[in-house]
Amino acid sequence: MNILGIETSCDETSAAVIKNGVSVITNVVSSQIKIHEKYGGIVPELASRHHLENVNFVVEEALKGTKKIDAISVTSGPGLIGSLLVGTTTAQAISNILKIPCIGINHIEGHIFANYLRTPEHSPRYRSGEAGQNIRTPVAPPFIALIVSGGHTDLILAEDLGKYKVLGRTRDDAVGEVFDKIAKFLKLGYPGGPVIDKLAKNGNSKSIPFPRPYMRGTWDFSFSGLKTSVINYVREHQNIRTSKHLYDLCASFQQACIDVLIEKTISACKKYRIKKILLGGGVTANSQLRTDIIKKCKSENIKLLLPAISLCTDNAAMIASAGYFKLKKTGLTRHRGVINPSANLELKNW
């Protein structure tokens, strides 16, 4: 079964074809970073206009070589409403013409399903499209999912496929947003996560004792206080732009975020007696987060699933995978009516 996925919730226009929920046939991502970087963040109106310009080309490119698609899966929220409208309108137009089902997917759920996808990163012998049919996925629930991106910091208990309980989320800035804002303050460019990750590799993460906002007694997160501490530190230390000091600052800030994320995720596993953790979202590409959580899960004897680096940030392959499993479980076979996108879509069970 081939699913066409479409993702336009933020600043990536993406379309993908996925076979049987796990096998990536194509995954085309057109990034708008070049457009937004001069503003140090995403400008919503520019984002939707560029989605509109690009979406047809991106879908055409993704469909090259595929003879038949059986259903369409599109991000219906949360995200920027103008951007979401471009994707949902495109998906429904194609589904109306081809008379195939169209299903709306929560973007957060998409990040979870990035772990179901097999790419050459997982196995050098894997060739696109060859798996799919018989592949055994190790992602069986229950698991604790940590979704960390520019818009979200969500800790989720998945009791079954499509059965979620959001345990906690950020009360202010998302963790990726804090990486982006600190990078903007330091004039390091946009997005901030990859550049801070790179600079931190040369720094000492113990050199500056930034606070760890553990938010004890709740599963929620709060990173804006940490952001203020970093910004105040930079204001007080005028020489911060010398390279060694900057590396240390990046490493120390990054480690403060990672310590909180890992500690809360492991605690949730212990509390709910779950032995599996799954990560998703752009911040999951962070090299130190990956190293530390692999080590921690090994010592705690917890199974860990990380998406391929190329599937951490926004892409349509993960949306198509989620759509496949949702279609399989809910049995939607006929063409359905309207998918109305929502900027604040909650994670719903199915």
Please select the residue that binds ligand KG4; options are 281, 307, 323, 341, rule is CB under 6 A.
281
Separation between Cα atoms, residue 20 and residue 325, nearest integer Å: 9
- Calpha distance 321→21 (Å, rounded): 4
Is 205 a binding residue for Zn ion by CB under 5 A? The answer is: no
Q: Is there a contact between 141 and 160 (Cβ–Cβ < 8 Å)?
A: yes
Binding residue (CB under 6 A) for ligand KG4 from 7, 154, 197, 248: 197
Q: Is 180 in the site for Zn ion (CB under 5 A)?
A: no
Cα gap 251→228, rounded to integer Å: 16
283 touches which of Zn ion, ligand KG4, none (CB within 5 to 8 A by kind)? ligand KG4
- Residue 32 in the binding site for ligand KG4 (CB under 6 A): no
The helix or strand, by DSSP H or E, that contains position 89, with its residue range, turns out to be helix 81-98
What gap in Å lies between CA 201 and CA 223, rounded to an integer? Answer: 22
- Give the x-and-dash track for 121-150 against ligand KG4 (CB under 6 A): ----------------------------xx
278 binds ligand KG4 (CB under 6 A): no
Binding of ligand KG4 at residue 191 (CB under 6 A)? yes
Exactly one of 285, 297, 317, 347 binds ligand KG4 (CB under 6 A); that residue is 285
Q: Are strands 276-280 and 143-148 parallel, antiparallel or unpaired?
A: parallel
Asked if residue 173 binds ligand KG4 (CB under 6 A), the reply is: no
Contact region with ligand KG4 (CB under 6 A), list: 38-46, 54-62, 88-96, 277-285: 277-285
HSE-up of 179 (CA within 13 Å, CB side)?
31
* Collapsed DSSP state (helix, strand, coil) of residue 60: helix
The reply on whether position 203 binds ligand KG4 by CB under 6 A is: no
Side-chain-side CA neighbours of residue 123 (13 Å): 11
Contact criterion met (CB below 8 Å) for 70 and 335: no
Residue 30 near ligand KG4 by CB under 6 A: no
Euclidean distance between CA atoms 36 and 194, whole angstroms: 16
Q: Which of 138, 118, 82, 164 is nearest to 346 (CA)?
A: 164
Residue 95 binding partner per list ligand KG4, Zn ion, none, with a CB distance cut-off of 5 to 8 Å that depends on partner kind: none
Nearer to ligand KG4, 213 or 282 (CB): 282
CA distance 218 to 195: 31
* Nearest CB to ligand KG4, comparing residues 202 and 330: 202
Task: Of 312, 313, 328, give the one whose Cα is nearest residue 103.
Answer: 328
- The H or E element spanning position 61 is helix 44-63
Of the pair 269, 319, the CB lying nearest ligand KG4 is at 319
Residues 120-179 that bind Zn ion (CB under 5 A): 149
Residue 179 interacting entry, from Zn ion, ligand KG4, none, C-beta within 5 to 8 Å by type: ligand KG4
Q: How many residues interact with ligand KG4 (rule CB under 6 A)?
A: 20
Contacts with ligand KG4 by CB under 6 A lie at 10, 149-151, 176-177, 179-180, 191-194, 197, 281-283, 285-286, 313-314
Contacts with Zn ion by CB under 5 A lie at 149, 314
